[in-house]
Structure 1
Amino acid sequence: MLMTEARRYSAVAMIFHWAIAVLVIWNWRLAENAEHASRAEATAIFADHKAIGITILVLTLGRLVWRLTHKWPPLPSNYAGWERVLARVTHVVFYVLLIGLPLGGWLANSFNGREIEYFGLFTIPALPVGENEGLGETIYDAHKLGGQIIIYLVALHILGALKHTFIDKDGGIFRMLPFGRVGKAR
Protein backbone atom coordinates (compact mmCIF):
# COMPACT_ATOMS: atom_id res chain seq x y z
CA MET A 1 0.00 0.00 0.00
CA LEU A 2 1.39 3.42 -0.91
CA MET A 3 1.78 5.93 1.84
CA THR A 4 -0.72 8.75 1.46
CA GLU A 5 -0.40 12.46 2.08
CA ALA A 6 -0.96 11.65 5.77
CA ARG A 7 2.57 10.20 5.66
CA ARG A 8 3.96 13.61 4.72
CA TYR A 9 4.57 16.42 7.13
CA SER A 10 2.30 19.44 6.82
CA ALA A 11 3.31 22.44 4.71
CA VAL A 12 3.88 24.47 7.89
CA ALA A 13 6.14 21.76 9.35
CA MET A 14 8.06 21.65 6.07
CA ILE A 15 8.57 25.42 6.08
CA PHE A 16 9.83 25.33 9.67
CA HIS A 17 12.11 22.36 8.89
CA TRP A 18 13.75 23.80 5.78
CA ALA A 19 14.04 27.36 7.13
CA ILE A 20 15.74 26.11 10.28
CA ALA A 21 17.97 23.73 8.29
CA VAL A 22 19.18 26.50 5.99
CA LEU A 23 19.76 28.89 8.89
CA VAL A 24 21.68 26.30 10.94
CA ILE A 25 24.04 25.55 8.06
CA TRP A 26 24.40 29.24 7.22
CA ASN A 27 25.13 30.07 10.86
CA TRP A 28 27.72 27.31 11.11
CA ARG A 29 29.46 28.68 8.00
CA LEU A 30 29.41 32.20 9.49
CA ALA A 31 31.06 30.94 12.68
CA GLU A 32 33.67 29.06 10.63
CA ASN A 33 34.36 32.16 8.51
CA ALA A 34 34.69 34.35 11.61
CA GLU A 35 37.43 32.06 12.93
CA HIS A 36 39.61 33.03 9.95
CA ALA A 37 38.66 36.71 9.70
CA SER A 38 40.28 39.84 11.07
CA ARG A 39 38.95 41.04 14.41
CA ALA A 40 36.77 43.74 12.82
CA GLU A 41 35.38 41.32 10.23
CA ALA A 42 34.80 38.67 12.88
CA THR A 43 32.83 41.14 15.00
CA ALA A 44 30.53 41.92 12.05
CA ILE A 45 30.19 38.24 11.14
CA PHE A 46 29.35 37.28 14.72
CA ALA A 47 26.72 40.04 14.87
CA ASP A 48 24.92 38.25 12.03
CA HIS A 49 25.62 34.86 13.65
CA LYS A 50 23.92 36.02 16.86
CA ALA A 51 20.90 37.47 15.05
CA ILE A 52 20.47 34.28 13.03
CA GLY A 53 20.78 32.28 16.25
CA ILE A 54 17.88 34.24 17.75
CA THR A 55 15.90 33.61 14.55
CA ILE A 56 16.63 29.88 14.85
CA LEU A 57 15.44 29.98 18.47
CA VAL A 58 12.15 31.69 17.56
CA LEU A 59 11.52 29.37 14.60
CA THR A 60 12.34 26.29 16.68
CA LEU A 61 9.95 27.35 19.44
CA GLY A 62 7.31 27.94 16.76
CA ARG A 63 8.03 24.53 15.26
CA LEU A 64 7.82 22.87 18.66
CA VAL A 65 4.45 24.51 19.38
CA TRP A 66 3.25 23.40 15.93
CA ARG A 67 4.46 19.86 16.51
CA LEU A 68 2.77 19.65 19.90
CA THR A 69 -0.54 20.97 18.60
CA HIS A 70 -0.75 19.20 15.23
CA LYS A 71 -0.59 15.58 14.24
CA TRP A 72 2.60 14.49 12.50
CA PRO A 73 2.99 11.44 10.30
CA PRO A 74 4.00 8.18 11.93
CA LEU A 75 7.32 6.61 11.12
CA PRO A 76 7.06 4.19 8.21
CA SER A 77 6.29 0.62 9.21
CA ASN A 78 9.42 -0.71 7.49
CA TYR A 79 11.75 1.03 9.98
CA ALA A 80 13.72 -1.40 12.14
CA GLY A 81 13.51 -0.95 15.89
CA TRP A 82 16.96 0.65 16.06
CA GLU A 83 15.98 3.09 13.28
CA ARG A 84 12.88 4.15 15.23
CA VAL A 85 14.92 4.72 18.38
CA LEU A 86 17.64 6.58 16.47
CA ALA A 87 15.04 8.77 14.71
CA ARG A 88 13.37 9.72 18.01
CA VAL A 89 16.65 10.34 19.85
CA THR A 90 17.99 12.42 16.94
CA HIS A 91 14.88 14.60 16.90
CA VAL A 92 15.01 15.17 20.66
CA VAL A 93 18.71 16.07 20.50
CA PHE A 94 17.98 18.42 17.58
CA TYR A 95 15.35 20.26 19.64
CA VAL A 96 17.65 20.45 22.67
CA LEU A 97 20.47 21.92 20.55
CA LEU A 98 18.23 24.20 18.47
CA ILE A 99 16.93 25.75 21.68
CA GLY A 100 20.02 25.35 23.86
CA LEU A 101 22.60 26.77 21.44
CA PRO A 102 20.88 30.14 20.90
CA LEU A 103 20.02 30.43 24.59
CA GLY A 104 23.60 29.53 25.50
CA GLY A 105 24.96 32.10 23.07
CA TRP A 106 22.62 34.76 24.50
CA LEU A 107 23.59 33.76 28.06
CA ALA A 108 27.32 33.88 27.24
CA ASN A 109 26.89 37.33 25.70
CA SER A 110 24.96 38.42 28.77
CA PHE A 111 27.72 37.25 31.11
CA ASN A 112 30.10 39.36 29.04
CA GLY A 113 27.80 42.39 29.34
CA ARG A 114 26.76 42.38 25.67
CA GLU A 115 23.39 42.93 24.08
CA ILE A 116 22.47 41.34 20.75
CA GLU A 117 21.76 43.54 17.75
CA TYR A 118 19.08 41.97 15.59
CA PHE A 119 20.20 42.92 12.07
CA GLY A 120 20.15 46.60 13.05
CA LEU A 121 16.38 46.46 13.55
CA PHE A 122 16.32 46.32 17.35
CA THR A 123 18.45 45.33 20.31
CA ILE A 124 17.87 42.26 22.43
CA PRO A 125 18.97 43.12 25.95
CA ALA A 126 21.41 41.05 27.93
CA LEU A 127 19.80 38.60 30.31
CA PRO A 128 19.80 39.85 33.92
CA VAL A 129 22.65 37.60 35.09
CA GLY A 130 25.39 40.07 35.98
CA GLU A 131 28.81 40.03 34.44
CA ASN A 132 31.09 37.03 34.76
CA GLU A 133 33.53 36.83 31.85
CA GLY A 134 34.99 33.49 32.95
CA LEU A 135 31.59 31.83 32.99
CA GLY A 136 30.74 33.56 29.70
CA GLU A 137 33.85 32.04 28.08
CA THR A 138 33.03 28.60 29.48
CA ILE A 139 29.55 28.84 27.97
CA TYR A 140 31.03 30.01 24.65
CA ASP A 141 33.23 26.90 24.63
CA ALA A 142 30.18 24.68 25.28
CA HIS A 143 28.30 26.60 22.57
CA LYS A 144 31.08 25.91 20.08
CA LEU A 145 31.08 22.20 20.97
CA GLY A 146 27.30 22.09 20.62
CA GLY A 147 27.63 23.74 17.20
CA GLN A 148 30.01 20.99 16.11
CA ILE A 149 27.66 18.33 17.43
CA ILE A 150 24.67 19.76 15.58
CA ILE A 151 26.59 19.74 12.28
CA TYR A 152 27.44 16.05 12.77
CA LEU A 153 23.80 15.44 13.62
CA VAL A 154 22.73 17.24 10.43
CA ALA A 155 25.05 14.96 8.45
CA LEU A 156 23.59 11.88 10.17
CA HIS A 157 20.08 13.14 9.44
CA ILE A 158 20.87 13.69 5.76
CA LEU A 159 22.48 10.25 5.47
CA GLY A 160 19.40 8.68 7.05
CA ALA A 161 17.06 10.48 4.65
CA LEU A 162 19.18 9.41 1.68
CA LYS A 163 19.33 5.80 2.93
CA HIS A 164 15.57 5.64 3.26
CA THR A 165 15.04 7.26 -0.12
CA PHE A 166 17.58 5.45 -2.28
CA ILE A 167 18.40 2.18 -0.51
CA ASP A 168 15.13 1.34 1.27
CA LYS A 169 13.19 3.07 -1.51
CA ASP A 170 10.50 4.22 0.92
CA GLY A 171 10.69 7.85 -0.25
CA GLY A 172 11.95 9.01 3.14
CA ILE A 173 13.12 12.44 2.02
CA PHE A 174 9.78 13.14 0.36
CA ARG A 175 8.03 13.01 3.74
CA MET A 176 9.49 16.49 4.29
CA LEU A 177 9.03 17.77 0.71
CA PRO A 178 5.80 18.82 -1.02
CA PHE A 179 6.68 16.77 -4.10
CA GLY A 180 7.96 13.32 -4.92
CA ARG A 181 6.58 9.93 -4.16
CA VAL A 182 6.53 8.63 -0.64
CA GLY A 183 7.13 4.99 -1.52
CA LYS A 184 5.92 1.68 -0.30
CA ALA A 185 6.75 0.50 3.16
CA ARG A 186 8.33 -2.92 3.03
Structure 2
Amino acid sequence: MLNDVQKRYSKGAMAFHWIIAVLVIVNWRLAETAHHLESGAGWYWSQHKSVGISILVLTIGRLLWRLGHPVPPLPDTIPSWQRVASRSLHFLFYVLLIGLPLGAWIANSLGDRPVDFFGLFTIPPLPVGTNEGMSETIFGIHATGAEIFIYLIGIHILAALYHTFRKDGAGLGRMLPLGRT
Protein backbone atom coordinates (compact mmCIF):
# COMPACT_ATOMS: atom_id res chain seq x y z
CA MET A 1 0.00 0.00 0.00
CA LEU A 2 1.32 3.45 -0.95
CA ASN A 3 1.64 6.17 1.66
CA ASP A 4 0.29 9.68 1.03
CA VAL A 5 3.65 11.03 -0.22
CA GLN A 6 3.99 8.21 -2.77
CA LYS A 7 0.48 8.94 -4.08
CA ARG A 8 1.31 12.59 -4.75
CA TYR A 9 3.54 14.40 -7.20
CA SER A 10 6.87 15.72 -5.94
CA LYS A 11 7.09 19.34 -4.81
CA GLY A 12 9.26 20.10 -7.87
CA ALA A 13 6.67 18.59 -10.21
CA MET A 14 3.97 20.62 -8.47
CA ALA A 15 5.98 23.83 -8.87
CA PHE A 16 6.61 23.15 -12.57
CA HIS A 17 2.93 22.27 -13.11
CA TRP A 18 1.46 25.36 -11.49
CA ILE A 19 4.01 27.84 -12.86
CA ILE A 20 3.55 26.49 -16.38
CA ALA A 21 -0.25 26.46 -15.94
CA VAL A 22 -0.30 30.13 -14.89
CA LEU A 23 2.04 31.08 -17.75
CA VAL A 24 -0.13 29.24 -20.30
CA ILE A 25 -3.21 31.15 -19.10
CA VAL A 26 -1.32 34.47 -19.14
CA ASN A 27 -0.01 33.71 -22.62
CA TRP A 28 -3.46 32.82 -23.90
CA ARG A 29 -4.81 36.15 -22.59
CA LEU A 30 -1.88 38.10 -24.07
CA ALA A 31 -2.54 36.56 -27.50
CA GLU A 32 -6.28 37.15 -27.26
CA THR A 33 -5.74 40.78 -26.28
CA ALA A 34 -3.21 41.37 -29.07
CA HIS A 35 -5.46 39.67 -31.60
CA HIS A 36 -8.39 41.96 -30.79
CA LEU A 37 -6.47 45.25 -30.72
CA GLU A 38 -6.64 47.40 -33.82
CA SER A 39 -3.39 49.15 -32.91
CA GLY A 40 -0.77 48.86 -30.19
CA ALA A 41 -0.66 45.05 -30.21
CA GLY A 42 3.14 44.92 -30.57
CA TRP A 43 3.85 45.01 -26.84
CA TYR A 44 1.36 42.18 -26.20
CA TRP A 45 2.89 40.03 -28.96
CA SER A 46 6.37 40.69 -27.59
CA GLN A 47 5.29 39.59 -24.11
CA HIS A 48 3.47 36.58 -25.62
CA LYS A 49 6.69 35.47 -27.32
CA SER A 50 8.74 35.91 -24.15
CA VAL A 51 6.27 33.95 -22.06
CA GLY A 52 6.19 31.27 -24.77
CA ILE A 53 9.97 30.86 -24.61
CA SER A 54 9.69 30.70 -20.81
CA ILE A 55 7.10 27.93 -21.14
CA LEU A 56 9.39 26.03 -23.52
CA VAL A 57 12.34 26.23 -21.11
CA LEU A 58 10.23 25.30 -18.07
CA THR A 59 8.66 22.36 -19.93
CA ILE A 60 12.08 21.01 -20.83
CA GLY A 61 13.02 21.47 -17.16
CA ARG A 62 9.89 19.61 -16.12
CA LEU A 63 10.69 16.71 -18.44
CA LEU A 64 14.23 16.53 -17.05
CA TRP A 65 12.78 16.62 -13.52
CA ARG A 66 10.52 13.68 -14.38
CA LEU A 67 13.54 11.55 -15.26
CA GLY A 68 14.50 11.46 -11.59
CA HIS A 69 11.06 11.81 -10.07
CA PRO A 70 8.55 9.33 -11.47
CA VAL A 71 4.87 10.12 -11.66
CA PRO A 72 2.90 8.59 -8.79
CA PRO A 73 0.73 5.69 -9.91
CA LEU A 74 -2.98 6.18 -10.34
CA PRO A 75 -5.17 4.42 -7.77
CA ASP A 76 -6.27 0.89 -8.69
CA THR A 77 -9.87 2.12 -8.74
CA ILE A 78 -9.29 4.11 -11.95
CA PRO A 79 -10.62 2.22 -15.00
CA SER A 80 -8.10 1.35 -17.72
CA TRP A 81 -9.77 3.62 -20.31
CA GLN A 82 -9.30 6.58 -17.96
CA ARG A 83 -5.65 5.63 -17.43
CA VAL A 84 -5.13 5.63 -21.22
CA ALA A 85 -7.01 8.92 -21.55
CA SER A 86 -4.89 10.48 -18.80
CA ARG A 87 -1.59 9.33 -20.33
CA SER A 88 -2.71 10.45 -23.78
CA LEU A 89 -3.77 13.88 -22.56
CA HIS A 90 -0.51 14.41 -20.69
CA PHE A 91 1.47 13.32 -23.75
CA LEU A 92 -0.47 15.84 -25.88
CA PHE A 93 0.22 18.54 -23.30
CA TYR A 94 3.96 17.95 -23.60
CA VAL A 95 3.75 17.95 -27.41
CA LEU A 96 1.91 21.28 -27.33
CA LEU A 97 4.01 22.83 -24.55
CA ILE A 98 7.10 22.18 -26.64
CA GLY A 99 5.65 22.34 -30.14
CA LEU A 100 3.74 25.62 -29.85
CA PRO A 101 6.65 27.79 -28.68
CA LEU A 102 9.16 25.98 -30.87
CA GLY A 103 6.88 26.33 -33.89
CA ALA A 104 6.40 30.03 -33.18
CA TRP A 105 10.17 30.49 -32.87
CA ILE A 106 10.61 28.76 -36.23
CA ALA A 107 7.87 30.94 -37.76
CA ASN A 108 9.51 34.10 -36.39
CA SER A 109 12.84 32.87 -37.75
CA LEU A 110 11.36 32.25 -41.20
CA GLY A 111 10.17 35.86 -41.09
CA ASP A 112 13.67 36.94 -40.02
CA ARG A 113 12.29 38.26 -36.72
CA PRO A 114 14.35 37.78 -33.55
CA VAL A 115 12.55 37.35 -30.23
CA ASP A 116 13.06 40.07 -27.64
CA PHE A 117 13.00 38.30 -24.26
CA PHE A 118 11.30 40.76 -21.89
CA GLY A 119 13.76 43.46 -23.00
CA LEU A 120 16.60 41.57 -21.29
CA PHE A 121 18.21 40.04 -24.37
CA THR A 122 17.41 39.03 -27.93
CA ILE A 123 16.98 35.44 -29.04
CA PRO A 124 18.25 35.31 -32.62
CA PRO A 125 16.32 33.67 -35.44
CA LEU A 126 17.08 30.00 -36.02
CA PRO A 127 19.20 29.33 -39.12
CA VAL A 128 16.25 28.26 -41.28
CA GLY A 129 16.42 30.92 -43.98
CA THR A 130 13.54 33.24 -44.76
CA ASN A 131 10.17 32.30 -46.17
CA GLU A 132 7.35 34.65 -45.21
CA GLY A 133 4.67 32.36 -46.69
CA MET A 134 5.87 29.40 -44.63
CA SER A 135 6.11 31.68 -41.59
CA GLU A 136 2.44 32.62 -41.92
CA THR A 137 1.44 28.98 -42.46
CA ILE A 138 3.24 27.93 -39.28
CA PHE A 139 1.66 30.79 -37.34
CA GLY A 140 -1.74 29.52 -38.55
CA ILE A 141 -0.92 26.03 -37.30
CA HIS A 142 0.30 27.60 -34.05
CA ALA A 143 -3.05 29.37 -33.57
CA THR A 144 -5.01 26.19 -34.27
CA GLY A 145 -2.80 24.20 -31.89
CA ALA A 146 -3.29 26.84 -29.20
CA GLU A 147 -7.06 26.64 -29.60
CA ILE A 148 -6.96 22.85 -29.32
CA PHE A 149 -4.74 23.25 -26.24
CA ILE A 150 -7.36 25.42 -24.51
CA TYR A 151 -10.02 22.74 -25.03
CA LEU A 152 -7.67 20.04 -23.74
CA ILE A 153 -6.97 22.16 -20.65
CA GLY A 154 -10.71 22.35 -20.06
CA ILE A 155 -10.95 18.55 -20.25
CA HIS A 156 -8.00 18.25 -17.86
CA ILE A 157 -9.64 20.59 -15.33
CA LEU A 158 -12.97 18.77 -15.56
CA ALA A 159 -11.26 15.40 -15.08
CA ALA A 160 -9.35 16.69 -12.04
CA LEU A 161 -12.55 18.06 -10.51
CA TYR A 162 -14.43 14.83 -11.28
CA HIS A 163 -11.80 12.73 -9.51
CA THR A 164 -11.56 15.20 -6.63
CA PHE A 165 -15.27 15.11 -5.90
CA ARG A 166 -15.48 11.35 -6.43
CA LYS A 167 -12.76 11.11 -3.79
CA ASP A 168 -11.11 8.20 -5.58
CA GLY A 169 -7.57 9.42 -4.84
CA ALA A 170 -6.85 10.73 -8.35
CA GLY A 171 -7.96 14.31 -7.87
CA LEU A 172 -6.41 17.69 -7.16
CA GLY A 173 -4.82 16.52 -3.92
CA ARG A 174 -2.13 14.75 -5.94
CA MET A 175 -0.94 18.07 -7.43
CA LEU A 176 -1.67 20.63 -4.70
CA PRO A 177 1.20 21.44 -2.31
CA LEU A 178 -1.07 21.15 0.74
CA GLY A 179 -3.42 18.58 -0.76
CA ARG A 180 -4.33 15.11 0.35
CA THR A 181 -5.22 12.08 -1.70
What amino acid is the match of 1:121?
L
Q: Deviations over 1:94-137 (max 9, x none)?
A: 00000000000000000111000000000000001111000000
Q: Deviations over 1:52-87 (max 9, x none)?
A: 000000000000011122222111111111100000
Greater relative CO (CA pairs within 8 A, separation 6+): 1
Contact 1:117 1:124 in 2 (8 A): yes
Contact 1:111 1:130 in 2 (8 A): yes
Partner of 1:24 in structure 2? 24
Partner of 1:92 in structure 2? 91
Name which of structure 1's ranges 162-171 and 148-157 shifts more when overlaid on structure 2. 162-171
> Whole-Å Cα distance in 2 between the matches of residues 2 and 44 of structure 1?
49
Q: What SS is found at the alignment partner of 2:41?
A: helix
Question: Superposition pairs for residues 1-186 of structure 1, below 5 Å?
Answer: 3-39=3-39, 41-170=40-169, 172-182=171-181
Contact 2:52 2:101 in 1 (8 A): yes
Contact 2:103 2:142 in 1 (8 A): yes
- RMSD between superposed Cα atoms in Å: 1.3
Q: What SS is found at the alignment partner of 2:27?
A: helix
Equivalenced residues, count: 181
- Cα drift, residue 4 of structure 1: 1.4
> Whole-Å Cα distance in 2 between the matches of residues 138 and 171 of structure 1?
40
Percent identical pairs in the alignment equals 57
Contact 2:107 2:136 in 1 (8 A): yes
Q: Deviations over 1:147-182 (max 9, x none)?
A: 001111110100000000013443510100121321
Structure 1's unaligned 5+ residue stretches are none
Contact 1:24 1:56 in 2 (8 A): yes
Name which of structure 1's ranges 1-10 and 99-108 shifts more when overlaid on structure 2. 1-10
What amino acid is the match of 1:10?
S
Residues 101 and 92 (structure 1), Cα distance of their counterparts in 2 relative to 1, 3 Å cut:
same
Contact 2:8 2:72 in 1 (8 A): yes
> How high is the TM-score relative to the length of structure 2?
0.96
Q: What SS is found at the alignment partner of 1:123?
A: strand
> Which contiguous aligned blocks of 4+ residues in structure 1 show a shift greater than 6 angstroms?
none
